[in-house]
Chains A and B, each alone.
Chain A
Amino acid sequence: MAGHLRPRAAGPTRAGIVLLAVVLAGVGAGAAAGASFSKPAPTPVERQIQDEIEGLIASGVPKDSPKVAMLREQLAQLRTGDTARPPREPGVDTGAVLAGKTDDAGHPTAAAGAGAQAKVQPQAGAAATAAPTTTTAPDWQSGAVECEVVPNLLSAAEIAGATCASVPQPDGTSRYVAIGPEGVVRSVLFGPNGNVRRLPDTRAPAPAPAGTKVAATPQGDLRVAPPGRAAAVVDLP
């Protein structure tokens, strides 16, 4: 920097040195303040990702590993986001959605009224303090469905060779039902607010081999029609 200054004719005085120091300190403080405005301190998640990067490397993963690079990219994206001024998402009314005044695609329902189109800003103090209340709209799938494991409630062995169905109930809950080829009916209740549990097994009147047709009844039971046999209704628990 000194090379860009015009040489002084005489040496600096003590007052001049003090003045220069004050000016430099002021400039430095200003720069620091500016830097802190443009680069806020890392958030806890950003510190976590930095910790993961250091952990990866400490564990022997090369610094140029794709896994390290991947995390660095995530961290950089988050840091950019800290100071971003994102555009408002068009056509979104989260307040209306939270109030159940829109359909599944986020469009206002007829009952929502014109006010549902209003855009809202994130609202301080709106955080839920209790478990979310789920809706009981009659949108459950009815009839035969893919057989699959329900963790802790219906195992891979129990669905092997089974015929499966989803059966809505009049009370708004649903039964996920797997009828084994031997005719054992295994049911899992899906109710609102995390009410998910295995119900007692029952037995169909006849075995249910591959090709068995199933259909939910309006009463919440299951009509079962094994190949070549008459259909029978199974009362579900």
Chain B
Amino acid sequence: MRLPRSRWLVALLCGVAVGAASCQAAPTITTQTNSYYMARATAPDASRLGCFNANRSGRMTLFFGAPVTVRGAYGATLWGAPDRNTAEIGQTVQNFVRGYAYCRTDSRRRLLIGVGTSNSAINGRTDAWLQAHGAAWARMVANLNAWASKYYPGHAQIYAAWDFEPSWSSFAKADQWMHGYDITPGRRPLYANSSADGCPTSTATNGPCNNGWTQNRVWHLAWRHDPSMPIPQIYATSGVNAHQWQLIDLWATVAQHDGMYFYGTMSQAGACKQAGAGACPGTNNSPTSARNFLLWWLRTDRRTSQPSVDTMTDISWNS
């Protein structure tokens, strides 16, 4: 499966060349959206952010931080801002939707909003706590979608989102959270906005990733669970992240007979720009480059090829 050096070069050029015809990266439908790390979440902040995105349509994510207990309830951190419990996070999302609805001028636009947390800082949690948090997140998202369906059915749908990264926790702990999410009745689809850090870059043999994870374990969380919709982080300007995911897909296709389908890509050019020069060297793909890299690598093998990658979302800080 090792590819010649020239193929890497072509992949790199493909990612850089926006819409290059030779990359065959011309999906029939592509949407570009903004996603956010929600480091501020007051009602005015969230409403203005929704208003700011009034000209957008498609899949995007509002990311909150690590799962925590907040005043006796399940919730998430917001990095520099006060932690919020699921009820408060729900208010933030509602205000985002209201701002979007208030400002949107094209009635044909819809946002499919992922509400996300992560596997950061969870190694110290018990399995029961993680399952309960996953279940609480599932209920929050389902309730938010029911609310949006009632009051804003022509504006937005609500999904869950999850940024799991091998370096951030053990697989066993991450799996407990996902188990709690997945077994909850009425759970919504979940964007897997995940990384494959440390995973193999040349083999598809269930090789190791960081922190004791494997290709199988990444696949299990990003695809095997029914709600999972992979929209992975394709940050590296070398294209290596896209290759890692293609190899995970290939391994799953061959060994599990259950290959992945990628709904989109997440890039972080906006966050990198905010953080200043040199903040993320070599990991600041543009949204188009991220999409092109993934589509190109998927198409290097007929067993992983897919016709399009429809969503390009770029994350930045809402602070």
Contact = CB atoms under 8 A, between A and B. Distances in A.
B154 interface: yes
A145 B102 contact: no
Q: Indicate the member of A47, A94, A176 with the most B CB atoms within 10 Å.
A: A94
A171 interface: no
Interface residues of B, number: 82
B317 interface: yes
A139 B42 contact: yes
Nearest to A107: B43
Contacts of A103: 43
A147 B121 contact: yes
Interface string B274-304: 1110011001000000000000000000000
Contacts of B276: 197
B271 A151 contact: yes
Interface stretch (A2-10, A13-21, A66-74, A203-211): A66-74
Contacts of B101: 94, 122
Interface string B33-74: 000010110111101110110110110000001101000000
A89 B155 CA distance: 14
B107 to A, nearest CB: 9
Interface string A186-221: 001011111111100000000000000000000000
Interface in A117-142: 120, 122-128, 131-135, 137, 139-141
A197 B283 CA distance: 16
Contacts of B43: 97, 102-106
A55 B95 CA distance: 33
Nearest to B153: A81
Contact of A148 (B79, B109, B307): B79
Contacts of B263: 52
Nearest to A131: B52
Contacts of A82: 154
Contacts of B81: 139-141, 166, 174, 190
A45 to B, nearest CB: 4
Contacts of B212: none
B51 A128 contact: yes
A132 B149 contact: no
Interface in A57-77: 58-61, 66-67, 70-71, 74, 77
A148 B121 CA distance: 6
A196 B310 contact: no
A153 interface: yes
A125 B55 CA distance: 11
A195 B273 CA distance: 10
Contacts of B58: 44-45, 48
A75 B35 CA distance: 22
A123 to B, nearest CB: 6
Contacts of B99: 94, 97-98
A198 B276 CA distance: 9
Contacts of B6: none
A46 B112 CA distance: 11
Contact of A51 (B28, B102, B274, B305): B28
A95 interface: yes
Given A44-B57, A145-B83, A146-B66, A122 B275 contact: no
27 contacts: A45-B57, A45-B58, A51-B28, A55-B306, A56-B261, A70-B227, A77-B149, A88-B151, A94-B99, A95-B102, A123-B103, A125-B105, A126-B103, A127-B105, A128-B48, A134-B319, A140-B81, A145-B77, A149-B121, A153-B275, A166-B80, A188-B80, A191-B319, A192-B40, A196-B39, A196-B275, A197-B274
Please provide the 10 A-B residue pairs with the shortest distance between their CB atoms, ordered closest to farther.
A81-B153, A190-B80, A132-B48, A141-B82, A127-B54, A45-B110, A94-B102, A66-B226, A174-B80, A194-B274
Interface of B: 27-29, 31, 37, 39-40, 42-45, 47-49, 51-52, 54-55, 57-58, 65-66, 68, 77, 79-83, 88, 91, 95, 98-99, 101-105, 108-110, 112, 120-121, 149-154, 157, 167-168, 189, 226-227, 229, 253, 259, 261, 263, 268, 270-272, 274-276, 279-280, 283, 305-308, 310-311, 316-319
Interface of A: 43-48, 51-52, 54-56, 58-61, 66-67, 70-71, 74, 77-78, 80-82, 84, 86-89, 92, 94-95, 97-100, 102-106, 120, 122-128, 131-135, 137, 139-141, 145-153, 156, 159, 166, 174-176, 188, 190-198
